[in-house]
Amino acid sequence: MALILVSAMNSLMILMAAGFAVQVLRHWDIASGSELQLNLERRTYLISTYDVLLDEEGNVARDHGVAGLPTTFIFDRNGKLYTRILGESTPEVFEKIIKELL
């Protein structure tokens, strides 16, 4: 009985995730700035500003002290720089930092 219940719960979670994935695929428009777009970004933990990637003169990189690639910046909920990771990192490091911020 427990296995059937767990299996049903897993199926329900997959269906819910699939529904959200379809919504993201149908409505994702990073340039729109609409309320729907902002909601999708919040729910997927994505942000719509990639200043460093588009920083052709290197001003943003210099302002933030980019010394190597890749450089990852993690900001808190208030937009204040929480930490900077130079070079490659692991999912465990990102998970630890995110948990600290929650």
- The residues that bridge with 73 in the sheet, in sequence order, are 84
Give, in order, the Cα–Cα distances in Å from 66 to each of 37, 54, 82, 85. Answer: 29, 14, 15, 10
The pLDDT tens digits of the residues spanning 4-61 come to 888 888 888 888 777 777 777 777 777 787 888 877 777 776 544 444 456 677 787 7
Quick check: 41 and 47 in contact, CB under 8 A? yes
What confidence score (pLDDT) does residue 55 get? Answer: 65
What confidence score (pLDDT) does residue 40 get? Answer: 77
pLDDT band at 79 (very low <50, low <70, confident <90, very high): confident
pTM, full prediction: 0.38
Q: Which amino acid is at 99?
A: K
Spell out the domain ranges in the chain.
1-48, 63-102
